[in-house]
Amino acid sequence: MLRLIYQIVLIGLCSMLFGFAYNTFLIPHKLASGGVTGIAFFIHHFLNVNTGWIVIIINIPLFLLGIKYLGKKFILLTIYSVVVLSFSLKFFPIHALSNDILLSSMIGGALYGITVGVVIRSGGSTGGTDIVSLILSQKKNMQVGFLSACMNLLVVGTSGFVFGWNITLYTIIAIYVAGRAVDMVYTTQNKLTLRIVTEKGDELIDALFHLHYRGITVHNAEGAYSHNPKKVLITVITRFELNETKHTIKTIDPNAFVNISQTLEVMGRFRKS
């Protein structure tokens, strides 16, 4: 229950910050963020319809897609995020905090990416292309921010014809910064390989298995100097799980030797979460 309350509060705050960033850094300079919010911005520009209602309408079919691949809890948190975001877009006035379009594109993109990353990390999303990116990330083992940025190119290209290519270049900056920020915050897709040399193999295997439910490969070994029997444990985790894993290893065997390396790609069965 406490975990759920924490998720609701954090997602709500981040969704409000998303709306604030969008109305104060992006919309005043006609910087389309891409995806559903970018489409909503175009409709708002031509029809003067509030972007909040447009975001909700476009997200409905994407919610149905998310239920199938990402689960009901994810979609419920996503719906909550989108509702808060939509009301935030209606609540915060469209007013530029800075007349510097470059500064606005960078700060707006950073806030946009950070809030999206935190929401996804908390078990939900801000809807739109986030849902599609998460599904493709699970299927193709690619970074969420990168996928989202690629899908936003269509909206960015359209903005070039509508608002001129000068604005489009600043929009590309905002989307690039946002994509990098998402991948910095949401690190689940980044994999690490751990090679652990320990004299407490059985205890550590049991603890790690219950911690992440990951597969572990075990090799028998012997210390070259001490000639003591050891076990070498090899497993793959996400970067998000690293701190908790390191704490578990230190608690059970403070003398364990651990080699941590970046993993480019994982093939075969790998539990995503």
Per-residue pLDDT reduced to its tens digit, 165-217:
777 788 888 888 888 888 788 766 677 899 999 999 899 999 888 887 778 88
Could you tell me the residue ranges of all domains in the chain? 2-185, 191-263
Residue 268: predicted pLDDT? 66
Q: Hey, which of 62-71, 90-99, 173-182, 195-204 has the most confident mean pLDDT?
A: 195-204
Give me the count of residues in the chain.
Answer: 273
Nearest to 33 by CA among 181, 184, 156: 156
Residue 165: count of CB within 10 angstroms of its CB: 11
> Which tokens belong to 255?
């003398």
**Can you read off the two tokens belonging to residue 249?**
């290893």
Query: Over the chain, what is the mean pLDDT?
Result: 82
Q: For 144-159, how does the pLDDT look when each residue is reduced to its tens digit (9 = 90+)?
A: 777 777 777 777 777 6
Contact between residue 22 and residue 108 where contact means Cβ atoms under 8 Å apart: yes
Q: What is the pLDDT of residues 31-48, one digit of tens each?
A: 765 677 677 777 777 777
pTM, entire model? 0.66
pLDDT of residue 50: 72
Class of domain 191-263: alpha beta
Distance, CA of 262 to CA of 255 (rounded, Å): 22
What is the band of 164 on the pLDDT scale with cuts at 50, 70, 90? low
Backbone CA torsion sign across 89, 91, 96, 98: negative
